[in-house]
Amino acid sequence: MNVLLLEDDPELSAVACEQIESRGHKVFSALDIAHAKAILDDESVHVDILIADQQVPDGNGSLFAVETKGRANGIKVVVVSGMLGNEDIQQLQANHIAYYNKPSLYSEIVEDLIQKHFPELGGRHT
């Protein structure tokens, strides 16, 4: 799987990338929404899963997740945060977007998404 990780904390991003890559996945890391959009718009890059932090310097991860889910290419999205308010949770639930509280093991989040949304892989994870 190709994972786009939107996380503005460089240290947490590095740990999350290591966790996800240890499971055999490719990670594209972005520290802000502008960079994440550039990765998504790059035609040479295929993204299967977006993991978005809620609070990033240039916006709201939940709103970005909703926007990204609406793309025609079927990207699966999830929000990971310790800062979700009731309005954010309602918005995510209304758009059928999963969310996890920090701290979380990012590798387990990816595996959970694969099991739920990519059953055709049958145990293959890359």
Q: How many distinct structural domains can be found in the chain?
A: 1
Condensed to tens digits (0 to 9), the pLDDT of residues 72-100 reads: 678 999 998 888 889 999 999 999 998 98
**What are the residues facing 98 on neighbouring strands?**
78
Q: What is the mean pLDDT of residues 51-70?
A: 93
**Residue written as token pair 């990670």:** 27
Residue 126 inside a domain? The answer is no
Q: State the Cα–Cα distance between residues 105 and 107, nearest whole angstrom.
A: 5
Residue 55 inside a domain? The answer is yes
Residue 26 inside a domain? The answer is yes
Q: What is the pTM of this model?
A: 0.86
Q: Which domain holds residue 15?
A: 2-121
pLDDT at 126: 47
CATH number of the CATH domain containing 50: 3.40.50.2300
| Exposed/middle/buried for residue 30 (C-beta within 10 Å: 0-12, 13-18, 19+) | buried
CA 96 to centroid of chain Cα atoms? 14
Q: State the Cα–Cα distance between residues 95 and 13, nearest whole angstrom.
A: 25
What pLDDT band is residue 125 in, cutting at 50, 70 and 90?
very low
